[in-house]
């Protein structure tokens, strides 16, 4: 059974705590330690789970040699905590996004490489049954050439959400709607469409009292020639409305909708296939935008650590979303399209 430690015991950590509880029942993983900069939060998790609460992240990591650190701290701190885990010889599993700075993410990748540990990014929506089925159709060539990909993230984050923590909505530690709420959708649209060549965006802070944007429109040009768009806002009244992805191809059209990519709303190809009968089977009705992907995601991570599978969501893969997001912000500031450069080899940056 692999030992896990948790850094950050706030809002998002519950999904990880519950998932690790299920994995403990399977005999695969156990939460043994936790830390938060607010000690009362760590104490609460320790009381609920039986793990040990620590007052120092370094001391905690010394207690889980060869284990895994699940990172649920503010987004801007993710890379630094990955580096800390790497120095202790502990694998890192970071919540999205990989970070708010490409340079910091690159340092985290290098630290894990140098210390021989694995670096995973949480992108559980790839494990939604709906998303997995569309990916299967894509890999089978059913779409033919992709022409257009579009994602809408129409969610609600009222002002009191941001007022709960001073770091929320700041450029340094959180970012805006694209970095935080839409990070999963940026990942999915680039995973489906392939390498992105350039990004153009318009952004605004229309209603929330935050540094970063609450609304943004992003256009993508893929290296394949396909085009894409991502429309994001946190201003929907009165609650989350839509988290969707539409793929338009030469021989197929698919739309995944619902509040969190949980329902295939349109599925049409030029020829039938046995996978067509699985639509009702894969549609789900989650009680939150987080969906049901955490458990299969963690199982995949454990299989990758055990050498049974190739890791899909590494730090390098998570970096792709950060580069798109940072390019969108640069474009929104300058009014110009921004070409993506990708990650250079260490020492050439």
User: Where exactly are the structural domains of the chain?
Assistant: 2-121, 128-286+322-331
Query: For residues 213 and 313, what is the distance between their CA atoms, to the nearest angstrom?
Result: 27
CATH architecture of 128-286+322-331: 2-Layer Sandwich (3.30)
Burial class (CB in 10 A: 0-12, 13-18, 19+), 75: buried
The pLDDT of residue 260: 83
- 257 strand-pairing partners: 263
Q: Is the separation of the CB atoms in 88 and 58 below 8 Å?
A: yes
The share of the chain scoring above pLDDT 70, in percent, equals 96
- 246 strand-pairing partners: 150, 255
Query: For residues 252 and 209, what is the distance between their CA atoms, to the nearest angstrom?
Result: 42
User: In this predicted model, what pLDDT tens digit does every residue of 3-32 receive, in sequence order?
Assistant: 999 999 999 999 999 999 999 999 999 999
CATH architecture of 2-121: 3-Layer(aba) Sandwich (3.40)
The pLDDT of residue 331: 99
As a whole number, mean pLDDT of residues 320-336 equals: 98
As a whole number, mean pLDDT of residues 62-86 equals: 98
User: Band of the pLDDT at 293, cuts 50, 70, 90?
Assistant: confident
């Amino acid at each position: 059974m692999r030992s896990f430690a948790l850094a950050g015991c706030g809002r998002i950590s519950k999904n990880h705590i519950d998932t690790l509880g299920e994995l403990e029942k399977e005999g695969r993983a156990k939460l043994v330690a936790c830390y938060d900069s607010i000690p009362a939060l760590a104490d609460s998790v320790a009381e609920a789970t039986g793990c040990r609460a620590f007052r120092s992240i370094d001391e905690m990591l010394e207690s889980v040699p060869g284990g895994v650190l699940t990172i649920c701290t503010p987004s801007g701190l993710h890379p630094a905590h990955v580096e800390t885990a790497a120095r202790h010889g502990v694998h890192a599993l970071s919540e999205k996004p990989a970070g708010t700075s490409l340079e910091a993410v690159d340092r985290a990748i290098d630290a894990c490489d140098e210390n021989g540990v694995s670096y995973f990014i949480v992108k559980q929506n790839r494990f939604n049954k709906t998303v997995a089925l569309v990916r299967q159709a894509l890999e089978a060539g059913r779409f033919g050439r992709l022409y257009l990909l579009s994602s809408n993230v129409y969610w609600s984050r009222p002002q009191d959400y941001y007022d709960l923590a001073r770091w929320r909505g700041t450029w340094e530690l959180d970012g805006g709607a694209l970095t935080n709420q839409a990070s999963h959708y940026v990942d999915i649209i680039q995973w489906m469409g392939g390498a992105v060549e350039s990004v153009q965006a318009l952004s605004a802070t229309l209603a929330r009292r935050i540094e970063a944007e609450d609304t943004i429109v992003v256009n993508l040009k893929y290296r394949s020639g396909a085009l894409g768009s991502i429309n994001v806002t946190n201003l929907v009244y009165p609650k989350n409305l839509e988290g969707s992805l539409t793929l338009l191809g030469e021989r197929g059209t698919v739309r995944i909708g619902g509040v969190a990519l949980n329902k295939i709303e349109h599925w049409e190809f030029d020829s039938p296939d046995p996978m067509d009968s699985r639509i009702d089977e894969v549609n789900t009705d989650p009680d939150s935008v987080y969906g049901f992907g955490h458990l299969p995601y963690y199982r995949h991570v454990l299989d990758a650590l055990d050498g049974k599978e190739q890791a899909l969501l590494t730090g390098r893969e998570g970096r792709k979303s950060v580069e798109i997001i940072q390019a969108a912000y640069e474009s929104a500031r300058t009014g110009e399209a921004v070409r993506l450069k990708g990650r250079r080899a260490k020492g050439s940056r």
